Structures are given as structure tokens and as C-alpha cells.
Amino acid sequence: MERLKIHFLGAAGTVTGSKFYLETNEVKILVDCGMFQGNKELRIQNWEPLPIEVSQIDVVLLTHGHLDHCGYLPLLVKQGFQGSILGTAPTLEIAKIILEDSAKILEEEAERANKEGYSKHDPALPLFDQHDVVATLKLFKSIEEEESIGISPHCSVRFRYNGHIIGSTFIEIDLFGKKLVFSGDVGRLKDDLLDPPKRPQWADYLFVESTYGDRKHPEEDLETILRELIQRTIQRRGTLIIPSFAVERLQSLMYLLWKLYDRNKIPNIPIFVDSPMGINVLEVFGRFPKWHKLAPEEYHNMCNHVTLVSSYRETWETIDDPRPKIVIAGSGMVTGGRVLTYIKQLADMESTSILLVGYQAEGTRGRDLLEGAQELKMFGKYVLIKANVQHLESLSAHADQGELLHWLEGVDNVPEKVFLIHGETETMSIFKAKIEEVFGWHTHIPKLHETVEILL
């Protein structure tokens, strides 16, 4: 009998900070290495060293390249990790883009805080910097989807397509004859850009995301909502600001708006994409055509239909452009990035609309807007919100309850235990009850920093 200790170091009782440490005498694996986002209590944990021997970790396995799954990697390396970081080629490209962009933003925020004196720390320091990212990227090693990779004599891993974003996978770990399956973030059954997720056929221990485990995405008429918002923007000669995640969501929005224009459903209103990271991700779509559904002609037409904003000078030129316009800018939860500048300058005007797309975590400005906040704190000051705020949930890249249950239906055996991760507490309680009702599986909701011991 082999003992396995599973340390839930993130995405336990919360949606962010995915980190799951598997510890045996033979091999030590970290599945995902995400940064905490959202409220201050969570973000503070990014500054704390992990409560494990980081130098003992043999390998990190990345399900995908989102910040809450890879953003802690530079800190892991600073704490002594020297092993390999494995993921699919698109995942590692996305992670590289996100880490480089995050380091730049963190450095700029620290510099701004020191200059304007609004930080409690003197001096304010970035969580990590470009040098830390360079050291991290040297450890990246790409893995083919569906390829079985030996990690140690009694351990092999396989990365399998699961939609969500380009390169994203769930991970099957065969460990001493038992199969552990980590869902990563499960994608949608119907997606404009991506194929439906594959499903695991066997799982002795199953670790399942539950972001939307308590609900089904609404059947929204995206076309009508967008047409009405664009018409309102044109009539009021205003700006439609769409805070967007740079990976997948931004490209989906570009595709959706281009298709509406191509079918003569909306006029040729200027569309500005202000996300250096999002522009880099577009190039990843160009380099990995087998990982998405866009034909080459569609991809090029979609890119040519928008104006790509690269410099901060162009950001201000876009703000000053008097024409009615659409601006898609990062970040999706309004936690940082270029979108803050647009909201700071334009959100106090009734001619402005803000369209939130997808999940807004607790403690983010996006959640505050969703809940009707009349002012937001940015750069140490409060900004008045007079803009019309709307929300689209059906553009989410996360499977809803029905789609998660469909994903679980692919499992032929009865798992020894199911662990619910990557969800808010109430959501996971509802999803736990649903899984037990539908499948009768033993389901557990781990707490942050909980350790579970299993005999293999």
C-alpha cells in the first residue's frame, strides 16, 4: 500500500488560486499553480510561501494557461522549484503571454503606487517581475494531447482536450494503479470557437471544478442584446466598454461582432481591441489551427474587422475619439489592465455602457458593478459610475451544471471519492447535493489548506 497525501493549496472553498499538491514517497506533483484573485483576504495569500517543501516538487502539470491556474509559477520558482512545468503547446504559449503581461502590470502598479504614495508599503514591490518570469519559462516543456508521459516508475500522466480556452485540458494521473482525474476548467458543449470537451471514462478519484455547479446558463438572445446595446451607443454617441478576459472571451467577442456585421445585423461601428495580451493570444490562434474551429479565412476577416490598440498613447486616442464605438479591453473582472483607464475616464457619462461577460468573482470590481455599485475605487481614488451596466452569462467559457453533469456521465465506474473544487462555498454545496442525487457518488468539499490522505 502506498500513501498519497493531497494538499488543497488553492481553489478550495473559492474559485481562484488552483493548486493541488500530490505527495508520495516516490513522486511529488503539483497540479496547477494559480494566483489568488478577488477579495483582499485571498490576494494576501499570494504573498505567502506555500506550506510545503517546494524544492521537493518533481513536476508541475498545467491544465491551462489562465492566471488563476498558472499565475503563481514565478513565485514557486523563487521558492526553490527546479523541476519541469508540463502543459500542451498552446497552454504554455498562453501561460507565457499571461505571466509576461502580469509581471509588466505588477511592476507598473508598484511604480505608480510609489509615485503617487497610495500604498501602505514603502516601497511598494511587485509580486513578481520580468526576471522571475524569464526563470520560470526555462522550465516549460510541451506535451502532446492524449500522449501518455511517464513521470516516475509508478506514475504516468495524460492531457486530454476539454474546451474552455485554447490548449486547455483535463489531466489523468495513473498513480500506483489508481487513476486521479483533475477536470481543470470544463468548457461548453456548444462554443463558436472550440470543440466540445472530451470526457474521462474512468476515475478512481475525481477532482471537479464547480464554478457554475449551482445553475444553468440562461438562454440569452445574444444577437438582440448586442444589437440593442450597439444601437443605444450609436444614438447617444457614446462608448460600449466590454471588459474581457484576454484568452478566448476576447476572441469570441471579436468573432460574434464580426459575424453580426458580416450578416448585416449591425452597422460598421468602430471596434477597438485594447489588450496587448489579447492581441498576442490572437497570434496563438493563428499558430495552432487544430485547436479551434475557425477557418483561416474567418480568422483573417475577424482580425481585419477590428482596430488593434497596442500602445498606451493609442488608448488615450481611442478615449478621445468622438465617434460612437465599441472598446473590448482587459481585464474581464475589471481587476486591472487597460479597461480601468476607459472606465475611469468614461463611466461617469450616461452615454457609456459597460457589458460584463462571464463570471465575476467576489471582491472584484466586476462583481461590484454587477451588484449596482455607484462608484469604484481605482488607483487610490473613487470613480463615479453613471454608465448603463449589463451582464451576459451565456458567453461564459465554463460549463454550467447540466454540462458538468454530462461531463461526469462519461465516467463508467463509481469513483471512490469526488472532490469539488474551484467554486464558491454555496455553489459547491448545491452541486454536491446534485451529484449525490444523480450518481450517488461520495462527494467531498475540501477546505483551503486541507490535507487528505489516501491509501493507493
pLDDT of residue 80: 97
Q: 159 near 30, Cβ under 8 Å?
A: no
Q: 13 near 359, Cβ under 8 Å?
A: no
The DSSP letter of residue 380 is T
> Do β-strands 307-309 and 205-209 pair in parallel, antiparallel, or remain unpaired?
unpaired
Q: What is the separation of C-alpha 452 from the centre of its chain, rounded to a whole number of angstroms?
A: 26
Residue 325: exposed, middle, or buried by beta-carbon count in 10 A (0-12, 13-18, 19+)?
buried
* Averaged pLDDT for residues 358-364: 82
* Averaged pLDDT for residues 306-325: 95
Place of cell 508541475: 60
Please write the tens of the pLDDT for every residue from 428-443: 999 999 999 999 999 9
Mean pLDDT, the chain, as a whole number? 94
- Residue 284: is its pLDDT beyond 80? yes
Q: How far is CA 318 from CA 73, 227, 270, 330, 345, in A?
A: 34, 22, 10, 15, 11
At residue 301 the predicted structure's pLDDT band, cuts being 50, 70 and 90, is: very high
Please write the tens of the pLDDT for every residue from 86-136: 999 999 999 999 999 889 889 988 888 787 777 667 788 899 999 999 999
By percentage, how much of the chain surpasses pLDDT 90? 83
The more confident residue out of 110 and 69 is 69
Domains and CATH numbers, the chain: 3-215+397-455 (3.60.15.10), 222-392 (3.40.50.10890)
- Residue 289: is its pLDDT beyond 80? yes
Element (H, E) at 454: strand 451-455
Which residues 6+ apart lie within 8 Å of 199 measured at CB? 406, 407, 409, 410, 411
Which residues 6+ apart lie within 8 Å of 259 measured at CB? none
